């Protein structure tokens, strides 16, 4: 009798244990699936400051649902009525609720047919203490447009970089610090304002000239400056077609050009000059172009058609006349030592690099000699090799290169009444917008700085990488400022490198290594490597150096192909190719998402 009466309670006890054990297992698995779903959805959402649920919502929901389904299949553990819903919170976290009904096996004998199981989850993307330096290509080609865009690349860049700030700030934790630094680069970088007085040489030798003999005028000579873009767009697109076979040979038909060009004199200015005495007159012209130009090339039986399209494209150039020397007067072109104590007011803010050497083996670089590549070295007062040299483009002359492009470079002194090329006047000494070291910005100041970027100059990737690395490393010039905020919360460091082109060196440019065929500090016309190869090797070396400091490098090729130097610098998963504004925006969203800390909030 006692055993009989105890069977039902015992059965209820055992049955409830079995069914509740199954319920706990299902609840645990359901929680994991819910977590996976919201994490997947939040990662897909990325850090999108301007998220539009009507446009982006379906994609986010679809990604989160896939993660949920992969972790909790329909009917698992004999469950039924599976549901999973997600909501986007005001702080851009993703919340989720998942539920199932679990039929009981034994408890149904006692009237309990099913167990309702429900869990909730939430994922957020936050940004810890972060330092970000952007090395931004502001070369002349950035004034052009990509084929799929209507705005010049420099304007697209400004819009995306400003949006990146809003994105990062939207996901920043209140107690976290995000700092941004900028290195606009082209032929040079403008870092003078970041240097201490003792980091600059008290004097330096520049390729210049002095007047010998009388200074009377022998008439006028004229020359053109480099062309600078103003507005409008132009881009080149390639297409292929079959060549025409005629009399056993292939030919390519080229369409007739439709380009129209108009030139307008914008202004005429005059200034008194000496040595020789007289007047310098500067005529400024705007040239407007519309239409298409075509070129074709033949390879086998395939023609490649290059179409360059101009749409209200305006560029400006100057024609300058000034007195030339009379007979009996000569210029002595030579290296001239200049006192640089006035560098903060008289130089243009760009600098010549400190001492280095021509490197033959980049696997064994001697940083005691290549001081330009030692990103942690702080200059020592009284040791010029360790210090930087201010740039004075107005006093630079390229012996013995004439304004018409003729003549050969020489390191020897030259006495002549001829006028040699001045890169500062001709537009071959581009000095970009001043760089900014790492600091906390507000949106207004950040946007104003980015809006001030101007496109000009050639593409010297190494100098952009060198100074971005110097601004970001925790051990170098700004070590005290770049130290971790606390040992418990380490700073995440990122270098974003964006370019729209391959390395493009120009031997007549006045670069951060001087007029290179004359200075010959890292390269000479007789070097085994080209100047372009030298720049790329130095870029790669410094990229590896900065990564040794636990810095993550991101590389974005905007409107140009990625090459091995770019991809190897960034590493797998850290480089992007963007052929238009939309893809550039996507690349920066992915970077922001990766910099952030994706985690479960409950």
- Same domain for 92 and 165, yes or no, is no
Helix (H) or strand (E) holding 551: strand 551-558
- Same domain for 577 and 448, yes or no, is yes
Q: How does pLDDT run across 369-417, given as a tens digit for each residue? A: 999 999 999 999 999 999 999 999 999 999 999 999 999 999 999 999 8
- Of 42-51, 68-77, 455-464, the range with the highest mean pLDDT is 455-464
List Cβ neighbours of 352 (8 Å cut-off, separation of 6 or more): 204, 388, 389, 390, 391, 512, 513, 514
- CA dihedral over 43, 569, 151, 445, signed as positive or negative: positive
* pLDDT score recorded for residue 167: 87
Collapsed DSSP state (helix, strand, coil) of residue 468: helix
Residue 451 pLDDT class (50, 70, 90 cuts): very high
Under DSSP, the state recorded for 172 is B
List Cβ neighbours of 208 (8 Å cut-off, separation of 6 or more): 333, 334, 335, 336, 338, 395, 396, 397
List Cβ neighbours of 4 (8 Å cut-off, separation of 6 or more): none
Residue 149 is part of which domain span? 130-206+330-600
pLDDT exceeds 50 at position 236: yes
- Same domain for 375 and 491, yes or no, is yes
Helix (H) or strand (E) holding 284: strand 278-299
- Please return the burial class of 4, using the count of CB atoms within 10 Å of its CB with bins 0-12, 13-18 and 19+: exposed
- Same domain for 134 and 201, yes or no, is yes
Q: Please, what is the average pLDDT of the chain?
A: 90
Query: Average pLDDT of 505-531?
Result: 97
- CA dihedral over 231, 233, 236, 242, signed as positive or negative: negative
- Same domain for 105 and 253, yes or no, is no
The strand ranges marked E within 371-506 are 389-390, 414-416, 436-439, 492-499
Structural domain ending residue among the three candidates 72, 107, 125: 125
Query: Average pLDDT of 82-101?
Result: 88
* pLDDT score recorded for residue 138: 97
- CA dihedral over 568, 569, 573, 576, signed as positive or negative: negative
Whether residue 471 is preceded by a cis peptide bond, meaning omega within 30 degrees of 0, is no
* pLDDT score recorded for residue 341: 97
The Cα–Cα gap between 456 and 179 comes to 27
Q: How does pLDDT run across 524-558, given as a tens digit for each residue? A: 999 999 999 999 999 999 999 999 999 999 999 99
The Cα–Cα gap between 187 and 429 comes to 7
- Please return the burial class of 568, using the count of CB atoms within 10 Å of its CB with bins 0-12, 13-18 and 19+: middle
pLDDT above 90 coverage of the chain, percent: 70
- Same domain for 170 and 58, yes or no, is no
The Cα–Cα gap between 545 and 561 comes to 24
The Cα–Cα gap between 307 and 423 comes to 31
Structural domain ending residue among the three candidates 82, 109, 125: 125
pLDDT exceeds 90 at position 240: yes
Query: For 584, how many CA atoms within 13 A lie in the half-sphere containing its CB?
Result: 27
Query: Average pLDDT of 317-332?
Result: 88
Domain count along the chain: 3
Query: Average pLDDT of 340-351?
Result: 97
Helix (H) or strand (E) holding 233: strand 228-242
Q: How does pLDDT run across 569-598, given as a tens digit for each residue? A: 999 999 999 999 999 999 999 999 888 766
The Cα–Cα gap between 574 and 553 comes to 7
Query: Average pLDDT of 404-433?
Result: 94
Q: What is the four-CA torsion angle of 567, 571, 573, 579, rounded to 10 degrees?
A: -20
- Same domain for 394 and 269, yes or no, is no
**Phi, psi (degrees; rounded to nearest 5) at 118:** -140, 140
- Same domain for 365 and 501, yes or no, is yes
Q: Are 180 and 368 in contact (CB under 8 A)?
A: no
- Same domain for 351 and 461, yes or no, is yes
Helix, strand and coil in the chain, % to nearest 5: 30, 35, 35
Structural domain ending residue among the three candidates 299, 325, 351: 325
* pLDDT score recorded for residue 358: 98
Residue 215 pLDDT class (50, 70, 90 cuts): low
pLDDT exceeds 70 at position 4: no
The owner of tokens 């202004």 is: 267
* pLDDT score recorded for residue 227: 84
Residue 18 pLDDT class (50, 70, 90 cuts): confident
* pLDDT score recorded for residue 235: 82
The Cα–Cα gap between 589 and 578 comes to 12
- Same domain for 390 and 406, yes or no, is yes
Residue 88 pLDDT class (50, 70, 90 cuts): confident
* pLDDT score recorded for residue 562: 95
- Show the CA angle centred on residue 411, arms to residues 325 and 199, nearest 5°: 100
Residue 10 pLDDT class (50, 70, 90 cuts): very low
pLDDT exceeds 70 at position 327: yes
Residue of 423, 598, 565, 392 whose CA lies nearest to 506: 423
Q: Are 388 and 351 in contact (CB under 8 A)?
A: yes
- Same domain for 106 and 140, yes or no, is no
- Same domain for 164 and 97, yes or no, is no
CATH number of the domain enclosing 553: 3.40.50.410
Under DSSP, the state recorded for 392 is -
pLDDT exceeds 50 at position 13: no
Residue of 161, 180, 236, 184 whose CA lies nearest to 584: 161
pLDDT exceeds 80 at position 272: yes
Which residue has better confidence, 227 or 80?
80
- Cβ neighbours of 523 (radius 10 Å): 24
Query: Average pLDDT of 334-343?
Result: 97
Query: Average pLDDT of 77-90?
Result: 89
* pLDDT score recorded for residue 521: 98
* pLDDT score recorded for residue 1: 57
pLDDT exceeds 90 at position 265: yes
* pLDDT score recorded for residue 48: 53
């Amino acid at each position: 009798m006692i055993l009989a009466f105890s069977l039902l309670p015992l059965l209820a006890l055992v049955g409830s244990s079995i069914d509740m054990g199954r319920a706990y297992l299902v609840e645990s698995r359901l929680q994991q699936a819910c977590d996976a779903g919201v994490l997947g959805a939040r990662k897909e959402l990325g850090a999108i400051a301007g998220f539009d649920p009507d446009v982006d919502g379906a994609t986010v929901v679809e990604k989160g649902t896939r993660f949920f389904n992969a972790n909790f299949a329909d009917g698992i553990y004999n469950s039924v009525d599976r549901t999973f819903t997600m909501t986007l919170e005001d702080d851009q976290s993703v919340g989720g609720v998942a539920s199932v009904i679990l039929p009981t096996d034994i408890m149904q004998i006692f009237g309990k047919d099913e167990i309702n199981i429900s869990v909730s989850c939430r994922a957020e993307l936050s940004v810890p203490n972060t330092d970000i330096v952007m090395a931004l290509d502001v070369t002349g080609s950035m004034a052009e447009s990509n084929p799929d865009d209507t705005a010049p690349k420099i304007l697209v860049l400004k819009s995306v970089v400003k949006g990146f700030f809003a994105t990062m700030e939207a996901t920043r934790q209140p107690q976290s610090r995000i700092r941004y630094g900028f290195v606009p680069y082209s032929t040079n970088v403008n870092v003078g304002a970041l240097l201490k007085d003792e980091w600059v040489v008290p004097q330096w030798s520049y390729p210049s000239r002095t007047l010998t003999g009388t200074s009377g005028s022998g008439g006028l000579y004229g020359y053109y400056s480099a062309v600078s873009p103003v507005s409008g767009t132009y881009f080149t697109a390639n297409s292929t077609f079959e060549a025409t076979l005629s009399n056993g040979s292939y030919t390519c038909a080229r369409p007739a050009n439709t380009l129209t060009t108009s030139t307008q004199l914008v202004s005429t200015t005059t200034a008194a000059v000496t040595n020789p005495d007289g007047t310098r007159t500067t005529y400024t012209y705007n040239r407007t172009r519309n239409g298409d130009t075509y070129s074709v090339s033949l390879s086998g039986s395939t023609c490649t058609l290059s179409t360059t399209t101009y749409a209200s494209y305006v560029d400006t150039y100057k024609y300058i006349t000034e007195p030339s020397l009379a007979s009996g007067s000569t210029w002595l072109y030579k290296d001239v030592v200049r006192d640089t104590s006035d560098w903060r007011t008289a130089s243009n803010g760009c600098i010549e690099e400190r001492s280095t050497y021509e490197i033959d083996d980049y696997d064994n670089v001697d940083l005691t000699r290549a001081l330009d590549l030692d990103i942690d070295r702080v200059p020592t007062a009284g040791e010029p090799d360790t210090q930087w040299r201010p740039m004075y483009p107005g006093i630079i002359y390229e012996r013995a290169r004439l304004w018409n492009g003729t003549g050969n470079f020489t390191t020897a002194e030259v006495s002549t009444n001829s006028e040699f090329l001045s890169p500062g006047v001709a537009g071959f000494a581009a000095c970009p917008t001043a760089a900014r070291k790492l600091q906390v910005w507000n949106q207004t100041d950040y946007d104003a700085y980015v809006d001030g970027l101007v496109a000009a100059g050639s593409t010297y990737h190494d100098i952009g990488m060198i100074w971005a690395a110097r601004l970001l490393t925790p051990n170098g010039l700004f070590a005290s400022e770049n130290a971790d905020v606390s040992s418990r919360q380490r700073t995440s460091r990122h270098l974003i490198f964006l370019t729209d082109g391959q390395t493009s060196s120009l031997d007549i440019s006045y670069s951060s290594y001087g007029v290179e065929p004359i200075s010959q500090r890292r390269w000479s016309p007789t070097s085994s490597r080209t100047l372009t190869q030298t720049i790329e090797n130095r870029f790669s070396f410094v990229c590896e150096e900065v990564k040794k400091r636990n810095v993550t490098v991101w590389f974005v090729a905007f409107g140009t192909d990625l090459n091995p130097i770019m991809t190897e610098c960034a590493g797998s998963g850290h480089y992007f190719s963007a052929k238009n504004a939309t893809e550039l925006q996507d690349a920066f969203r992915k970077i922001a998402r990766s910099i952030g800390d994706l985690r479960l909030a409950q």
